[in-house]
Every structure is written in structure tokens, then in C-alpha cells.
Structure 1
Amino acid sequence: MSPRPRPKLVVFDLDDVLVEYQRERRVEVLARAVGAPPATVVEALFKSGLETKNDRGELGLEDYLDAVRRRHGVDIPLEAFVDARRQSMRLHREVLQLAERIAAQTTLALFTNNGQWLGRQLPKFFPELRPLFGTRMVTTGQLGLTKPDPQAFYACLSTLGFAPSSSLVIDDRIENVAGAQSAGLDAIHYASPPQLANELLLRGFNLEPVHAP
């Protein structure tokens, strides 16, 4: 396969790309914090659709937690909610290393189906992200649109100031890859660090280690 043009913008997904996210761990931590069965937490956050509304920006974090309390009788302190998300994620070091190796050759950004609050917390959770991504950490909660809607990708690029034709998305969900491609972006369906490295090489990136001067 011949090399593709090197993109001017590379947009990484968060969950299960840049970080390994364990929803079961998040539920377990929350259940322990509020003294409720895990099944009750799953019902209150996920099956209720409230998490999705937060991801879409229809509910801010405080309104989200208030709705969980009123509708399901589960009182989750804000600090416990944030901490459970932190404990459920582990930085994917091999993917971060690839991001570090291409950072001087393109602009890096992050785009995630999550509430706006998580975008504000990420630099605190993972200080390693700030030098690479700066303030280019976009959440669907701030846009009011979620992946895989092509309009979500248009809105993300508008926020970042790049055109679809010069942008690349890396995502672990095939439906999000299809949505990005429908919006005119190049896209990689992430499976593993070695597979991602091969895809980046095909797009003209040099993946040699970056040495400090």
C-alpha cells in the first residue's frame, strides 16, 4: 500500500485508545462509595440514559447527579463520582509513546464521547497529556453532539480550526470510524499499538524515538 499524505491534525479517542477504561471498576468503586449494589449503580447511570445525556451536554454534572438522586435514590457525592472515573482508567503507555513520537510532525488533539467535566479533569488525572495535547481536549458534552454523528466531527474540527481533508481520527469503535470517514476525515480503526504504528507509518510519520537535545 502506498503512503498516504501526512495529516496536519491527528485526533485520538480517549477510552480504550489513550487510556484503558474499565466501566466495571468504575461501578465497583461507586457502589462501595455510596453503599449500593453495583446493579443499582448501573441502572441509575447507564440504563437510565442519564450518562448519555451528560455525554451529549444535555445535563451538566451537577444536574446529572441530582437526577440520579431524585429518580433512583442513589446519592453520589461529586468528589466520589469524579474519583471513580479516575480509578477506572489507566494510561495506555504504548499509545502515548506513539503520540509522543509524532507530536513534532503534526498537531495532536483528543476527542471523546464524555461530559464536559471529564475534559476539565483529564489534565489532573494524567498530567502527561498536557504537553502533547495542550487545551485540544474536546468532549462531546461541550459540543452537544456525540460520535458517530458526522456532525460531531465537523463541530470538533471547527473548534480546533482544521479541515476534514487534512485530519486523521484514531478510534476503537468501527461506527465512529465510519462517522469520521463520512465527514471526510481519514480514520484508523484502532486495535493495538503495533497495528496503530503500522497505520501511522503508512501516513508518512517517522516513529523513531524522540531524543531530548
Structure 2
Amino acid sequence: MKAVLFDMFGVIARLQSPESRAALQAVAGGDPDRFWEAYWAQRAPYDRGDVDGPAYWQGVCADLGTTPDERLTRDLIAADLASWSEVDDRAVALLAELADRGVVLGLLSNIPEELAARYEATQPWLERFAVRGLSCRIGSAKPDAAAYNWCLRELGLPPGEVLFVDDREDNVRAARELGMRVHLFTGPEALRTALRAVLETGPA
């Protein structure tokens, strides 16, 4: 193994908490089930960078039969970004350990531009990644093969020399089908154990 390619949300950064989801829903108003259906139905183009934040929220609200004004759009974007901004310090510490051992680190994240810019402005540990495959910048998102292949090209490595780490089974399955080694993330300690097995002969 020459490199570890990390997912971000659900691995390094936390998924939306019940509290942050409630805060976002409070800004949006209306029926929660309809809101979250529209939220996810419109998300893929936003993650790929096909639309920006205001256009995304226009689409979500259109699905709900409403038209947001500038202030509501701004508030929705702010609440959405806040809901994805909590980081797991244990995972960040593991990144530092791997980098210190000489392991090449890559990142493959489904992330919209506004959130990518927020992380770049606030999270210095992003500099540890030799390759950052941010869906909004590469024009493809997991589990599309194009997203993984972009990272492999940038890493300059064949699939079998890269370990892909993600918390979603569909994303892990897609990486495995391309020939990558995979780890379905359930927590930092389980990942640490898995990494120990592949690194026990020394730095990659």
C-alpha cells in the first residue's frame, strides 16, 4: 500500500447531528419529511459544482412550492454549512500520525463549493493531503467511477496500491470494483487497527 484515500464526511468530519438538522429545518420551516426529500433530491448537482448555493436552495424551495428571498437563501446556506462543520479530532490526529510515517494521503469528498471554501479557510489539516478530490472542483462525485479515477491519476498509483476509506457501503463497493483496497469506516480505532495490519512492515 502506497497511499490512503479518505472520505471526509462520516470519517474525518462528522455527519449532520440531530441538533444541526433541527436548526436547518427550523430555518426552512414547513413539513420536515418533505424538506429532507427535496434537500437530498437536489444535492447531487450542488456537490458536483453544477449549481451554486443560491441555485441549489432555489431548487429545494421550488420542490416545496416556495420561493426564497435573498435573506432566507443566505440563512439556509449558513445553517447548511454549519451542519457539516463539526470535525472528529481523533480522525485528524490519525491523519497526522500517518503523514509522520510517510504515508501519502488523499481526500475524495462529495462537497459543494461553499463548504469546500469554508473548510479550506478553517481547517489547516487539509494541507496534509497530497491530493484533494473535491467533487465540486473535479465535476464528479462518489460513487461514480470518474471521481475515484481522478484521484488515482493525481496520486499516480494503480488501484491496488491505494486503500480507500469511507463510511458508506455503496462508495466502498465502487472503489473495490475498480481494484482498490477498501475499509468500511465504523470509527477511528477500527481504522487504526486496519491500518496497522497493512503498515506493520514499515512506512508506505
Q: Give me the TM-score of the superposition, normalised by structure 2.
A: 0.80
Matching residue's letter, 1:57: G
Q: Following TM superposition, by how much is the alpha carbon of 1:74 offset from its aligned partner in structure 2, in angstroms?
A: 5.3
- Output one character per residue of 1:113-142: Cα deviation in whole Å (capped at 9) or x when no partner: 222332222123x424234237x3322233
Pairwise mapping of residues 1-213 of structure 1 onto structure 2 (< 5 A)? 7-22=1-16, 24-46=18-40, 49-72=41-64, 73=66, 75=68, 76-78=72-74, 80-104=76-100, 105-124=102-121, 126-133=122-129, 136-204=131-199
Q: Quick one: which amino acid aligns to residue 123 of structure 2?
A: P
SS state at 2:142 partner: coil
Q: Distance in 1 between matches of 2:74 and 2:39?
A: 14
Identical amino acids, percent of aligned pairs: 22
Number of residues of Structure 1 aligned to a counterpart in Structure 2: 197
Q: Which whole-Å deviations, capped at 9, do the CAs of 1:34-74 have from their partners, x for residues lacking one?
A: 4445345324312xx11122223333333212223444315
Task: Report SS of the residue matched to 2:147.
Answer: helix
Aligned counterparts of 2:78 and 2:201: Cα–Cα separation in 1: 37
In 2: Cα distance, 1:14 partner to 1:25 partner: 20
**Alpha-carbon separation, structure 2, partners of 1:138 and 1:116:** 12
Q: Contact conserved, 2:48 with 2:111, CA < 8 A, in 1?
A: yes
Aligned residue type for 2:190: Q
Structure 1: segments with no counterpart, 5+ residues = 1-6, 208-213
Q: CA RMSD of the aligned region, Å?
A: 2.7
TM, length-normalised to structure 1: 0.77
Question: Where in structure 2 are there 5+ consecutive unaligned residues?
Answer: none
**3-state SS of 2:140 partner:** coil
What is the CA–CA distance in structure 2 between the aligned matches of 1:74 and 1:158, rounded to whole Å? 42
